[in-house]
Structure 1
Amino acid sequence: MRIPALVLACTAALALSACGSSDDPSPTTTTAATDAGAFPATITHTFGTTTIPKAPQRVVTVGFNEQDFALALGVKPVAVREFLGLYAYKTRPWAPGANSDPTPALVGGAEINLERVAAARPDVVLGIYSFIEKGIYDKLSRIAPTVAQTKDFGVGAVPWDRQLLDTGKALGREAKAKEVVTEVNAQFADAKERHPEFQGKSIAVAFESGGTTFVLGDDDLRQQFFTGLGFVTPKDAGKEYQEDNLSRERLDVLDQDVLVLITDDDKGLLRDPLYRRLKAVREGRVINVRATDAFAGALGFNSPLSRPYLLKQAESRLAAAVDGDPATKVAAPE
């Protein structure tokens, strides 16, 4: 997976806000004690191993969703990387206080600003969902011990629970990480039990902007949110329907039991006659999401904080989409 598949298909149209940074950001705020005997902690990842000698006091996150994972463990970073897309992530409802005083400094958006990372004086840099390459990793490692993603999965495809467990080890909060994983997984298990009708239903998750449409595959964390509820990724002769730029001639790829369509306006695909003739559209099996909606932002973060929030948003809408009654309206997400 590449960074373009991470963002909400609208980065090209997005003017990133300035990445301002305090010269002396406040120390990391913590609300939980570290596990006894947690340090030194050694973590194996795609670029080798990283040893963190003692409990970090100044945490910098350079992954696009990384700040939520630290916050879920009671750690507020001193500096973070911006979340790409149109969603106003600084006021995301599932992470109240994330941008309150002390406000984390910003260390980049599409690209990491190494000078700003260094200015934050980190004890550890978390970059599990950062899509960094070896050269950037080496430069970050010269600033502070840096944790990249595990090599057990493709680039950007580390499941949220593994990301949290690795983050917990780096921060000396493995016990808390396991507790959070158990709690979130229980919520999804309960939802699956409430909705056996989700099991085996095909779902396409697509993003459209400026005439470009792409469809997610199983290796994408956003698709995994829905497959975690029992839905399946559509296949064609055993191959995923994963497209970077879906042509109008292949809009049939979107014609699944459920379609989640995220767009940045209502003037493109939504008005396309070929799209409007899809059976899923005619029968009301589409969850239409705007890129500015909290639904889109929560799906993009796909964190231990945003997943429970998104589950509450998505559950009733998914149920309405698969109930077999075209008269049932699928409510617009918030």
Structure 2
Amino acid sequence: MTACSSSTGSAGSTTTASTVSTSPSATSAAVSGSASAAVTAGYPVTIDHIFGSTTIATQPQRVVTVGFNEQDFALALGVVPVGTREFIGNDFARRPWAQEALGGATIPTVGEQQLNLEQIAAADPDLILGPYAFLDQNIYDQLSAIAPTVGDLAPAGAVSWQQELAAVGTALDKSAQAQELAASVEQRFTDAKTAHPEFAGKTLALVLLLDSGYYVLEPTDPRMRFFTDLGFSAPSVTGQIAAENTADLNADVVAVLGAAQAEFTADPLVQNLPAVTENRVVYFGPFTGDFAGALGFSSPLSLPYALDVAVPRLAAAADGDPATVPDAV
């Protein structure tokens, strides 16, 4: 769930700035961290992921998040990480949806596009969370040598926010809280769909404007899943779209990330798209903006914020009236 990188994918493979000894599996990793962490009633717990499974023996006291949105999930459950990854310019702390959960705390950075294993080790974690981290086996093994590490829950980031929340809740012994939180956020989507039945069945193309052309996000991408969870359908053509094939960008509603209207419609072929001429395009702002960040994190904290921003604009685009122009973000 990339937090709004201009790249087409959610994240890339990670590399490290230092070398740490490897471990064959998370289950054999030594647990470092606070000596005060006593055996807790809810432990041990085991979490499966693409690298195998990780057993967490005791209540974690010092959690480091190494993925692209895990800090939100920990914060939503009342746990402030002792280290986190920041890959969009060290601006996570300013995101509006995280302020209350942060409570004024500052989370040290342990990597940006690349993870810094020395900084991770220095944070002295007793749990490393990376269920949406796009790790490779080498980096996972090195992290596991530092502390028990929960790796990616599915290949290529194909994991829902509900699955990630459940896994983080299990790891932190907050499963009941995670279930309540998931139900609350899901109800927000249900309420929006009920209030806007016109969303149902309409196609929506989520378009990224890139230097190389256009990219229409696939339905498996968490950013696109936000819109399908509101009742929209993914278009039949997704992926990289060449400039000469701009007709493939058309849909009942077009949502644009990474470009304002003037930039998106600079191409005469785009100007003639029915969605453009009939005011069925919503411009959701730059990749570094808060809405793109909220979509990218796709967390229990950020999704309600994204709903507040998106739903009235989508309603204006989907109402069938060309005279209704959605506000740009």
State the TM bucket, normalised to the shorter chain.
0.7 to 0.9
The separation in 1 between residues aligned to 2:104 and 2:305, in whole angstroms, is 23
Q: Residues 87, 49 of structure 1: CA spacing in aligned structure 2 closer, same or farther, 3 A cutoff?
A: closer
Asked if structure 1 preserves the Cα contact closer than 8 Å seen for 2:189 and 2:230, the reply is: yes
**C-alpha deviation, 1:101, in angstroms:** 4.8
Scaled by the length of structure 2, what TM-score is found?
A: 0.85
Partner of 2:184: 183
- One-letter code aligned to 1:197: E
- One-letter code aligned to 1:182: A
| Aligned mate of 2:322, from 306, 315, 326 | 326
Does 1:252 pair with 2:210? no
Q: Residues 290, 269 of structure 1: CA spacing in aligned structure 2 closer, same or farther, 3 A cutoff?
A: same
| Aligned mate of 2:275, from 277, 280, 283 | 280
The separation in 2 between residues aligned to 1:301 and 1:38, in whole angstroms, is 28
Asked if structure 1 preserves the Cα contact closer than 8 Å seen for 2:80 and 2:102, the reply is: no
**C-alpha deviation, 1:43, in angstroms:** 0.8
**C-alpha deviation, 1:297, in angstroms:** 1.2
| Aligned mate of 2:54, from 50, 53, 67 | 50
The separation in 2 between residues aligned to 1:112 and 1:195, in whole angstroms, is 42
Asked if structure 2 preserves the Cα contact closer than 8 Å seen for 1:287 and 1:317, the reply is: yes
Partner of 1:233: 234
**C-alpha deviation, 1:192, in angstroms:** 0.8
Q: Provide runs of 4+ in structure 1 moved above 6 Å.
A: none
Asked if structure 2 preserves the Cα contact closer than 8 Å seen for 1:69 and 1:303, the reply is: yes
**C-alpha deviation, 1:218, in angstroms:** 1.1
Cα deviation code 1:241-287 (max 9, x no counterpart)? 221x3211221121101111112566643311111111101111111
**C-alpha deviation, 1:289, in angstroms:** 2.1
* Aligned-partner SS, 2:150: strand
Map residues 181-330 of structure 1 onto 2, 5 A cutoff.
181-235=182-236, 241-243=237-239, 245-264=240-259, 268-291=263-286, 292-330=288-326
- One-letter code aligned to 1:82: E
* Aligned-partner SS, 2:284: strand
**C-alpha deviation, 1:302, in angstroms:** 0.7
Partner of 2:166: 165
The separation in 2 between residues aligned to 1:6 and 1:92, in whole angstroms, is 11
Q: Is there any run of 5+ residues in structure 1 with no aligned partner, and where? A: 12-26, 29-35, 236-240
The separation in 1 between residues aligned to 2:224 and 2:182, in whole angstroms, is 19
- One-letter code aligned to 1:90: A
**C-alpha deviation, 1:44, in angstroms:** 1.1
Scaled by the length of structure 1, what TM-score is found?
A: 0.84
Cα deviation code 1:9-34 (max 9, x no counterpart)? 269xxxxxxxxxxxxxxx99xxxxxx
| Aligned mate of 1:117, from 117, 120, 125 | 120
**C-alpha deviation, 1:217, in angstroms:** 0.5
* Aligned-partner SS, 1:82: coil
The separation in 2 between residues aligned to 1:54 and 1:316, in whole angstroms, is 45
Asked if structure 1 preserves the Cα contact closer than 8 Å seen for 2:3 and 2:297, the reply is: no
The separation in 2 between residues aligned to 1:270 and 1:290, in whole angstroms, is 14
Asked if structure 1 preserves the Cα contact closer than 8 Å seen for 2:261 and 2:283, the reply is: no
Q: Percent identity?
A: 47
Q: Is there any run of 5+ residues in structure 2 with no aligned partner, and where? A: 9-32, 35-39
**C-alpha deviation, 1:87, in angstroms:** 9.3
Cα deviation code 1:91-149 (max 9, x no counterpart)? 11111056665411111111111111101110100001100011111100000000012
Asked if structure 2 preserves the Cα contact closer than 8 Å seen for 1:6 and 1:300, the reply is: yes
**C-alpha deviation, 1:7, in angstroms:** 4.6
* Aligned-partner SS, 1:205: strand
Aligned residues: 300
* Aligned-partner SS, 1:176: helix
